[in-house]
Amino acid sequence: MSADTLLTVGIDVGSSTVKAAVVESPANSGRERQGARVLGKVVERTRRRDQRQIIDAAYAQALELAGATAGDVAYVASTGEGEAIEFRTGHFYGMTAHARGALFLDPEARAAIDVGSLHARAIRFDDRARVLDYRMTSQCASGTGQFLENIARYLGVTLDEVGALSLRGEQPEKVSGICAVLAETDVINMVSRGIKTANILKGIHESMATGFAKLLRNARVEGVVLVTGGLAADVGLVQCLVDALGKAPHKKGSKSKLEAIDEPAGGAPVIIRPHVDGVHAGAIGAALWGAFRHERLAREGAAKAQTA
């Protein structure tokens, strides 16, 4: 690695997945980290395996993809449930990391909807990734990734297949949007009635998206919203969120066909955008904050040495 660059790693530990990202940024590039780039990124599902082994494996694989070694890394930043990582240098709150990662992935973003395994949260931030407001699901797990994974398992499909199947749903079946137990009971009844899997999944997605849209409105979100977290790659869920906020016609030159606009009374429009690396936003954001903190601590250390 060049002396003019800084290599940092972010590790986002969730309840069902571990994400690791290796980020290279120009030295002394401040809070904004202009010119930073992701050299390696990994996502590993826990699947009842030992979490520490998964963390070690994800870290090693991300470094291998980046063509780097642990000795090249200036700072290892954890986020999510990563406080227990023994080799971490520091830890950042999940909302802070997701805000920074979302801004890096889409500089126009001013909010993120982070859909994780156990909760979802709407995060509003400014053009420097400072968190201004947030709202989080407070009811039971019916709007989470774990709930969706349980339903997929019952329906006999993989989580990776859920999004595409949902897009094919033409007559979505309504499910309980309040209680995961009731929603799962609804699904069992639907299967016994011969309802198509695609329509069941789209109904679940619509219920989840309705709740997420409410979170965004309650957080007073305006502008571009990036979808992050474990379900960021679920195209069916993203499309239902687009529909829940009010679908806008696709404009020539638009960055994504999955782009929705919701114009609240007297407010600026809300634009939903997915990103291929949305699942890595937390890890990328942690790595970027790690670079900034590393250089700040180095400057503080140098200043103390001069006055000693």
Residues 132 and 92 in one domain: no
What is the distance between the alpha carbons of residues 297 and 303, in angstroms, rounded to a whole number?
10
Tokens of 16: 């069902």
114 shares a domain with 151: yes
Same domain, 295 and 146: no
| Together in a domain, 81 and 121 | no
The whole-number pLDDT of residue 8 equals 98
Same domain for 260 and 293, yes or no, is no
* pLDDT > 90 in the chain, percent: 61
Domain count, the chain: 2
> For residues 148 and 285, which has the higher predicted lDDT (pLDDT)?
285
Instruction: Concatenate the DSSP letters of all residues of 184-230 into one string.
Output: HHHHHHHHHTT--HHHHHHHHHHHHHHHHHHHHHHTT--EEEEEEST
What is the C-alpha separation between 87 and 74, in angstroms, rounded? 12
In degrees, to the nearest 5, what angle opens at C-alpha 104 toward C-alphas 103 and 106? 65
Residues 181, 37 within the same domain: no
What pLDDT is stored for residue 182 in this prediction? 74
Pair 128, 110: CB distance under 8 Å: no
Contacts of residue 8, Cβ cutoff 8 Å, sequence gap at least 6: 22, 23, 25, 73, 74, 75, 76, 77, 287, 288, 290, 291, 294
Residues 45-83 have pLDDT tens digits of 887 788 899 999 999 999 999 999 999 999 999 999 888
pLDDT digits (tens, 9 = 90+) for 77-101: 999 988 879 999 999 999 999 999 9
One domain for residues 140 and 51: no
pLDDT of residue 254: 44
Section 267-290 average pLDDT: 92
Q: What is the CATH number of the domain that holds 51?
A: 3.30.420.40
Q: How many residues does the chain have?
A: 308
230-278 pLDDT per residue, tens: 889 899 999 999 999 875 433 434 444 455 555 554 566 889 999 999 9
Q: What is the pLDDT of residues 176-193, one digit of tens each?
A: 765 667 777 888 889 999
Q: Which residue has the higher pLDDT, 143 or 185?
A: 185
Instruction: Please tell me the distance from the alpha carbon of residue 149 to that of residue 155, in angstroms, as a whole number.
Output: 10
**Residue 60 burial (CB count, 10 A):** 14
> Within this chain, do residues 66 and 113 fall inside the same structural domain, yes or no?
no
Domain housing 119? 107-274
If you search the block for the tokens 């070690």, which residue do you land on? 56
Confidence check: pLDDT of 293 > 80? yes
Q: What is the pTM of this model?
A: 0.88
List the one residue out of 91, 92, 114, 93 whose CA is nearest residue 102.
114
